[in-house]
Structure 1
Amino acid sequence: MVLLADLLSAPGLRGVRHLAGPLDALPVTGARLETRRERLAQAPAGSVVVLTAPVPGSLLDVALREAAAAGAAAVVLTEAEGGARADARTDAGVDPEGAAPLPVTVRALAQRGRVALLAAGGDLAALVVAVERAVAGDAADALARVAEAADGLPGAAGDPVRAARVAARALGVPVEVRAAGPGEAGASAAGPDGEVRLAAPLCRGHAGEAVRSVLAMAALAAAGGGRGDVPVRSRGRLLAEILVAPRERTARLAARGRALGLPVDGHHVALRFETGAPGESYQVLEPVMSEALTLLRDWSAGTGDPSAAPGAETGAVRWNAALADEALVLLATWPAEPGSEERRRLGEDVRRLTARLERGHPADLRCGVGGAHRGVLGVRTSAREAAAALRREADAPVVVHDAAGLDRMLTEWYVSDSAREAVGELLAPVLALGPHRAEPLVRTLQAYLDHNNSPARAAEALHLHRNAVGARIRRVVELTGADLADPEVRLALQLACRAVLAGTAAPPDVSRP
């Protein structure tokens, strides 16, 4: 059974405008091209009658009564007639499609008689063929839907949400960016930024074939196929370059990003994933990147409207990813500064993502979350903050950048030559031991100082025995000669420890005398 509400979304019928009357009163049985208004009384039940000759305004009421008596589903006026309604004086409002108002009596008759009043222009014979094809739901209708999708999908290459909208428009059914559930049709394609999965209602017969074909094409396009293949594959590499390139190159990289569709001018939050497998980070993180992007994009697309017009701005977060600096960086970007609701949703997604990845990957994955910053330099700043957050807390699976801004101030402070020299002098003997021996000592010293020189509280924070804390502190004092009873020394060491653990301090030059 096909209703007018479904029919008007079929290929070849989207130019038909709804003027009045219900779209779901009767099932449509076919179409008929009629040259004379007097023959409306002979229209088959459930038919869509396309009138080729104008109907005088004084006879429009009569035409609707005759169509209703015959049981017709709709009467289609020529576009010229629909435009003629603009001269009718009425107290009624403008119809939902924005056409000129119709007389109140016409609207009332259409509603009471359960006949839809439509307007169309162009090739009326082709309109009748399109109605017959959609009602039959045969191979011709399926082919027309596939052809329409094929025309629209190249323009949606690399954009899963837009590809889903194009597919939904061609098929006349909802298409969502997610894995198919029981009783649904689905398609997937592996792209450079993760697997793209699409789902739609399961249909039978030729309609089902159209759904399967269009979903397969849409998934390939969304994954980066067709015209968008090269740009999509390049965005990840360009993001990696932005993260590690010298600052003076960022303006040129930003221009390349805009050309490739990387939203460098938005507001960014970086997630940095590191693994406990030194030397094998990229081998472990590459499959993690694909799975993480697929999950995050699925969750983000779930808040959108798949039936919206292609190219419409949803304001939703966009995700990109890169492997750089022995880590996976996932970049969330909004067109405007994320508010409290966007930040809350991001926090939920990060926790869900980390839990999912922990179950599917044996490596010890940890995630640092940077703050929100704008522009291409904001990408780098948020990524640095995510890295600093991970170094601040070694055991937590998810660590968020210091909201009070202490890490940011520390990073900016350490950029100065005098600060770097001071840190080098204070902790040089400890850092000279090498990273594997120095880091436990520095971390223990920071915890000890943060807890007011309390071995018991530091041991509790580090999950160590207090004797182990005491031994490490004595070792630091032996190496540095620091007087931990001096408040100024304690403050200097606290800042130095934070700088080292935030990854901003370089190892000392042990070749110097």
Structure 2
Amino acid sequence: MNRTLTLSDLLAHPQNGGLRIITGEPGISLPEAFVESAEDRLPWNNLGDLAVLTIAPPSDAWQQDALIRRVRDRGFGALALLDADRFGVGTRVLAGRLGLALLHVDRPMELAQAWWQLREGRDSLMLSYVRKAARSFEYRAEGVSDMIGHLAANLGHGIALVSREGVLAQSGGILSAGLLSEIDFAPWLDTARSAHGCVASVRVDSAGRSGLRLAVFGQGFGEVQLGALAMAAEVMMPAVAARILIDEVAEVNDASVSAGLLGDFLEKRSAPDLDLERRMLDRGWGIGGYHLGFRMVGRTRIDALQLLRELKRYLSGLSADWQAVTLGEGIAGWLNFPAPLRQNDLEAQVAALKAMHVEVRRSFNIATGIGTPDSGPTGLAETINGASEAARIATQRSATGWFVRMDALGIEQLLLSWTENDTFVPAARSLLAPLRESNAELVPTLGSYLDHESSISATAAALGLHRNTVAARVSRIQELLGLDLSDAETRLALRLACRAVAG
């Protein structure tokens, strides 16, 4: 191979001996490299080559100036040597005026080897990358992200697992959106360079997930290095694909266990089950404190596991602890808080969940429901079931963007949500909460009053109370609820709510 290298090519090599520019531009050409112990051993030439000296420079400024002049007089365009960062300002200015790039290097022989690999030994460079990648697999990886971290650390370059939608995992650097856009997802191997950097990528041959690529990226790669990295990426890809498959199997198993556990918990919410709660705690689920449940269901057939992956990206950016699992044809989850939320904080959390819903709907045809805030293990079941009911209503509510919040439902919506099952309970509890908080006797009084066709006398007889007591309670109920009990639909809704709570 006969190709002129540039200084930037050497700077991009992961094993360049600790090369740093003191003066000069990274774009200068370095046709050849010569390694000697002293400048008088360097040949005479006019090609602007790289001179690498293995001894430290003199300490006196006039001697440093003399060294710079002698190397430049021999026709070299760049000088790399130990302790070049000790050169004084005057010497650096002189080097710049003479057109000599002054470079510091910690390990001169390693720099020479890097130059040779880039200039003459492409196969050697590629094999070097492959050996480093192979060493990465000696370390136990907890997942694909961990494996990519090992690869990046050993290769000395950024590595990312990407799709057209974005970066799924990366280490050793940040793959910019601009450089990601330069990747061609069609061919098996692809290399690209732009103002954003350089990248070599290979299609990931995964049966579980399509459209993925393994990319190695950085700045200033020459053609030789970029080509070697592309081949190294091809060698690394099967191990990464296998790790993805292992992770997917584990993810499916974990999702199945989580769904079963949550399903059992929701079924037994009225009777505390300490074993269930212990298993939930073992999985790191927050079941104490205060909760806000949410539920996403598909309006058409969806991949619930893929939806869960997408949700986790957004949930990780929230300011609350969270949990989400696949459940039926969708996702059930909750936010967990150590203390009750103030109204403003609650509104902010609901707004964040709605923003997540809007973003996810770009890829999934879903409806989302938000439950009523509640506390403790029993409250967790209530808020999730309330969210499930709200989600069911949301599937028919295009006017609200397929998003419904249970505690924002009015009387009419409560009637529409009644389906003769206990998912109505959270909404009923929320509606009757002012009565329960004021006086424990008000809810049964209201239920009896409505069951007896709004008759004060009949209610008093049924409850064994004086009619004046019942009349006072009914007046208090209307005041607390702010509802007109003479309205037929209002009475029906309240009667259903009382029965749901009593049940």
Relative to the length of structure 2, the TM-score reads 0.54
Q: Which residue of 2 aligns with 1:214?
A: 233
Instruction: Find out whether 1:104 has 2:119 as its counterpart.
Output: no
Question: Within 1, Cα distance between the matches of 2:346 and 2:102?
Answer: 45
Question: Within 2, Cα distance between the matches of 1:240 and 1:32?
Answer: 66
Instruction: Find out whether 1:390 has 2:391 as its counterpart.
Output: yes
Among candidates 10, 18, 27, match of residue 13 of structure 2: 10
How far residue 152 of structure 1 moved from its aligned partner, in angstroms, is 3.9
How far residue 239 of structure 1 moved from its aligned partner, in angstroms, is 4.1
Among candidates 122, 127, 139, match of residue 138 of structure 1: 122
Among candidates 28, 31, 36, match of residue 29 of structure 1: 31
Instruction: Find out whether 1:115 has 2:116 as its counterpart.
Output: no
- Residues 289-304 of structure 1 correspond to what in structure 2 (within 5 A)? 289-290=305-306, 292=307
Q: Which residue of 1 aligns with 2:212?
A: 197
Instruction: Find out whether 1:61 has 2:58 as its counterpart.
Output: no
How far residue 242 of structure 1 moved from its aligned partner, in angstroms, is 5.9
What CA deviation, in whole Å up to 9, does each residue of 1:138-159 have, x standing for no partner? 1221222233334447666534
Q: Which residue of 1 aligns with 2:403?
A: 399
Q: Give the direction of change, closer, same or farther, for the CA distance of 1:423–1:331 in structure 2 (3 Å limit).
A: same
3-state DSSP class of the match of 1:273? strand
8 A contact 1:4–1:27 mirrored in 2: yes
Instruction: Find out whether 1:170 has 2:155 as its counterpart.
Output: yes
Instruction: Find out whether 1:187 has 2:187 as its counterpart.
Output: no
How far residue 53 of structure 1 moved from its aligned partner, in angstroms, is 1.4
Q: Which residue of 1 aligns with 2:297?
A: 274
8 A contact 2:447–2:495 mirrored in 1: no
Q: In structure 1, give the amino acid aligned to 2:259.
A: A
What CA deviation, in whole Å up to 9, does each residue of 1:69-120 have, x standing for no partner? 5564643333xx36xx6xx6xxxxxxxxxxxxx5323443455535141221
Greater mean deviation of Cα atoms: 135-144 or 372-381: 372-381
Question: Within 2, Cα distance between the matches of 1:6 and 1:201?
Answer: 16
Gaps of 5+ in 2: 165-182, 191-200, 266-272, 337-344, 411-423, 452-480
Question: Within 2, Cα distance between the matches of 1:109 and 1:342?
Answer: 62
Q: Which residue of 2 aligns with 1:446?
A: none
Q: Which residue of 1 aligns with 2:358?
A: 351
What CA deviation, in whole Å up to 9, does each residue of 1:220-239 have, x standing for no partner? 53774499677656543454
Q: In structure 2, give the amino acid aligned to 1:217.
A: M
Question: Within 2, Cα distance between the matches of 1:36 and 1:319?
Answer: 65
What CA deviation, in whole Å up to 9, does each residue of 1:40-78 have, x standing for no partner? 574784544332212112233333444455564643333
Question: Within 2, Cα distance between the matches of 1:117 and 1:244?
Answer: 65
Q: In structure 2, give the amino acid aligned to 1:197.
A: L
Q: In structure 1, give the amino acid aligned to 2:367.
A: R
8 A contact 2:299–2:395 mirrored in 1: no
- Residues 196-275 of structure 1 correspond to what in structure 2 (within 5 A)? 197-198=212-213, 200=215, 207-208=226-227, 210-211=229-230, 213-214=232-233, 217=236, 221=240, 224-225=243-244, 235-237=254-256, 239-240=258-259, 243-244=262-263, 246=265, 248=274, 249=276, 253-256=280-283, 272-275=295-298
How far residue 34 of structure 1 moved from its aligned partner, in angstroms, is 1.4
How far residue 16 of structure 1 moved from its aligned partner, in angstroms, is 0.7
Question: Within 2, Cα distance between the matches of 1:44 and 1:381?
Answer: 83
Question: Within 2, Cα distance between the matches of 1:402 and 1:323?
Answer: 21
Question: Within 2, Cα distance between the matches of 1:215 and 1:197?
Answer: 13
* Percent of aligned positions that are identical: 18
- Where relative contact order (Cα < 8 A, 6+ residues apart) is larger, the structure is 1
Relative to the length of structure 1, the TM-score reads 0.53
Q: In structure 2, give the amino acid aligned to 1:236.
A: A
How far residue 188 of structure 1 moved from its aligned partner, in angstroms, is 3.0
Gaps of 5+ in 1: 89-101, 278-283, 301-312, 359-364, 429-449, 454-481, 509-513
Question: Within 2, Cα distance between the matches of 1:116 and 1:332?
Answer: 58
Q: Give the direction of change, closer, same or farther, for the CA distance of 1:399–1:50 in structure 2 (3 Å limit).
A: same
Over aligned residue pairs, what C-alpha RMSD do you find? 6.1
How far residue 215 of structure 1 moved from its aligned partner, in angstroms, is 5.7
8 A contact 2:148–2:160 mirrored in 1: no
Number of paired residues? 393
Q: Give the direction of change, closer, same or farther, for the CA distance of 1:234–1:41 in structure 2 (3 Å limit).
A: farther
Question: Within 1, Cα distance between the matches of 2:225 and 2:444?
Answer: 75
Question: Within 2, Cα distance between the matches of 1:70 and 1:341?
Answer: 70
Q: In structure 1, give the amino acid aligned to 2:358.
A: R
- Residues 74-93 of structure 1 correspond to what in structure 2 (within 5 A)? 74-78=78-82, 81=83
8 A contact 2:394–2:402 mirrored in 1: no
